[in-house]
Amino acid sequence: MKHPIKICFVGSGAISTAFAQVLSMSKKHLVEIVSIEPDVVDSINNEHVNNKYFPSIRLHEGITATRDLHSLESADIIFFGIPSTVTVDFVELNKDLFDPQTILVNLAKGFGKEDNTIPECIEKILPNPIISFKGPSFAREIINLVPTGMTVASKSSKYFDVFKELFEGTSIYLDFTNDLVGTELSSILKNVYAIIIGIVDAHYNSPNLRSLVLTKSINEMRYLLSRFGGKERTVFNYCGFGDFSLTALNDMSRNRTLGLLIGKGFFTDYISEKVVLEGKIATNTFVDKIARKRNIRTQELMLKELYQVFNDKNYDITNFVNRLLAANPIKEDLFTWF
């Protein structure tokens, strides 16, 4: 790839700013944040801070910001750091701005349209190479250059060397897979099972029980990956167990916190409507739509029990853990192992 590489981040939120900071350390890269927020653009360009998300962290002077979407036309790599609910619409609305050779990278963790993953949706709009970039990654740790693992997923392995070079010498450590679908689904499912772990921990502060449910969760995740067209082994990449453990076991995680609220009896319709709850959306989507389309029985999965929590107004949350433990384990012969 030519140098300097022009890298654009769509969105000026925490995750875009954090990765921009990491990549701006290399003189080989031109890093630009494309934002609709004029105050953030001004603060990045004039004060070298993101005054909304990281007001106390000085950004590298090589990072610039713009409100001009036409800047995307000359980008070599574009990272989408906007919410999953708007990513596909943004691409569709601005499809004429993307050079066909530009590498598109999805950072969002959620479904696109019609229960498809975001890369699947973008593939129907643009001919560009599409990468999924997922892993256990709190933005505050990334921007402070804490070592962080990320999975690069692409149908074509030729792009792996691009990302090796891109992040060489940084605090980001990479693993690679051709399982684009499995990587995307792992990043969605981990929110579901993080809620379950949160509910369990709200009822019992027990290392034994937590480990039991963690094990059942990872087995369900690999089962669902295989049934939805992904590869079971993807669950052992950074995007799988790594991201799941981060989300399930850290109180900075929104979905774990949601589980704790539910388990303690503080979950209300107000919280449900006002907070972005990826796990709740994913749970309902998997059970109501995707599983039914594929004739997948969810009755004995912990996933289905969480679905009942969200959809049965008379659900007795005090019995949640007992109902999880009563479920039959997934039989190993249901899997096609490595």
Q: Which residues are marked as active site?
A: 190
Among candidates 80, 95, 190, which has minimal Cα distance to 132?
80
Contacts of 89 (CB under 8 A, 6+ apart): none
Q: Residue 36: how many CB atoms within 10 A of its CB?
A: 12
C-alpha distances in Å from residue 190, one per residue of 125, 182, 243, 308: 27, 12, 7, 18
- Render 102-154 in DSSP notation, one character per residue: SEEEE---SB-STT-BHHHHHHTT--S-EEEEE-S--HHHHHTT--EEEEEE-
Residue 6 backbone zone (phi > 0: left; psi -120 to 50: alpha; other: beta): beta
Contacts of 254 (CB under 8 A, 6+ apart): 275, 276, 277, 278
Structure tokens at 16: 């875009």
Does residue 253 sit in helix, strand or coil?
A: coil
C-alpha distances in Å from residue 95, one per residue of 70, 125, 126, 141: 11, 7, 7, 33
Distance CA 222, CA 236 (A): 9
HSE-CB at 126 with a 13 A cutoff on CA atoms is 24
C-alpha distances in Å from residue 140, one per residue of 147, 190, 240, 327: 12, 20, 20, 38
Contacts of 197 (CB under 8 A, 6+ apart): 210, 213, 214, 217, 248, 249, 256, 259
Query: In Å, how far from its chain's centre is CA 92?
Result: 21
